[in-house]
A = this chain, B = another copy of it.
Amino acid sequence: MMDERQIFNDYIKSEGLKGTSQRAAVLDVFLGTEGHVSVDDMHRMLSRRKLKVGYATVHRTMKLIAQCGLARQVRFNDGITRFEHQYMHEHHHHLVCTQCGKVIEFNSDRIDDAEKIILRKYGFLMHSHRYDVFGLCKECQNKKAGSSVKSG
């Protein structure tokens, strides 16, 4: 099993790039995250750890982390690009609660099968896909129901 830092360093080398403390710091912090982090999140986490890395460098490094396959870019509908782990993480889709912002990850063999059928039908060669469902999570539905009952 190849270590994530190894993958990153190999990629850096294979592209003729150089290893730097900033890149190591960004990768390090990213490896400690879960879920979906924005460049802003990353920059804040780095600052909290007293790691001073410029905004532009965080951007550039996150792009590298995505390019080498360790992260996947995710864009919901707020105009912010987020990154989630891709290495050793099963691909999944998202249920995004538009109230509280929670993101539930899901998978479905049924959907995978249906997708294969669609791709065959159109002769389409898939590189990537995303299936995002927007709505209310169970908790936010309950909150809403509760408040409307009390107010009535």
Contacts and interface: CB of A to CB of B under 8 A. Distances in A.
B135 A106 contact: no
Interface in A103-150: 104, 106, 108, 110-111, 113-115, 117-119, 121-138, 141
A130 B131 contact: yes
Nearest to A119: B133
Contacts of A113: 110
Interface string A57-99: 0000000000000000101010000000000000000010110
A127 B137 CA distance: 11
B124 A117 contact: no
A11 B1 CA distance: 59
A113 B132 CA distance: 16
A115 B133 contact: yes
Which 7 residue pairs spanning A and B have beta carbons closest together?
Answer: A110-B114, A123-B138, A126-B135, A129-B133, A127-B135, A125-B136, A131-B131
A80 to B, nearest CB: 11
